[in-house]
Amino acid sequence: MRKITAGLFISADGVVGSPEQWHLPYFDDEVGAAVGAQVGVAETLLLGRTTYDVFAGAWPEREAAGGEDAGFAKALGDMRKVVVSHQDLDLTWRNSEVLKGDLVAGVTALKQEEGGTIGMSGSVSVVRQLLAAGLLDELHLFVHPVARGTGIRLFDELAGPIELKLLSCRAFAGGTVHMVYGPAAA
């Protein structure tokens, strides 16, 4: 069975919403390498529609520009991308497809396919649902040393407790802490 890993930027007070507005001062080479190790090793990228729109609006241009992150941008473009949405979508980024039907059933089927790791970045509502369904194998939290006070929090909408086990923890020089959790039952 394929493994699903999800990575989220999160403030010290649990905010995950709109990270593009607050996480960049803490995104350094160490954080970039850890994010690359989590997402870059994936064979398939699972994204919510909003995250897909952000990624598809940025990464193809970065690949074409040929800058320092062009190699990572090309790897993302070459990767199979499965987009979760209840809407009909016109997907413009190469190797993209829509997950049809029920999320839990669709992701369960995706995990049972042959292949390597399924990576996620962002997509908070999808991460919440996969956590609740017991389908997420690793949750990578990049905790930045900032308190936002308000905003979407990762665990605000859970129906009940989800037991997690700390798999690893590493503090970076810039103050970000990378914590990896897995299901407690594993």
In the prediction, which pLDDT does 99 show?
94
- Of the options 3.40.430.10, 1.10.3720.10, 3.40.630.30, 3.40.50.2300, the CATH number for the domain spanning 4-51+81-183: 3.40.430.10
Q: Tens-digit pLDDT profile for the chain (186 aa)? A: 999 999 999 999 999 998 988 999 999 999 999 998 998 889 999 999 999 999 999 999 999 999 898 999 999 999 999 999 888 888 999 999 999 889 999 999 999 999 999 999 999 999 999 999 999 999 999 999 999 999 999 988 777 888 999 999 999 999 999 999 999 986
In the prediction, which pLDDT does 57 show?
93
pTM: 0.93
Q: Pairing state of beta strands 177-183 and 164-171?
A: antiparallel
Residue burial 29-64, b: 16+ Cβ < 10 Å; e: rest: eebeebbeebbeebebbbbbbebbbebbeebbebbe
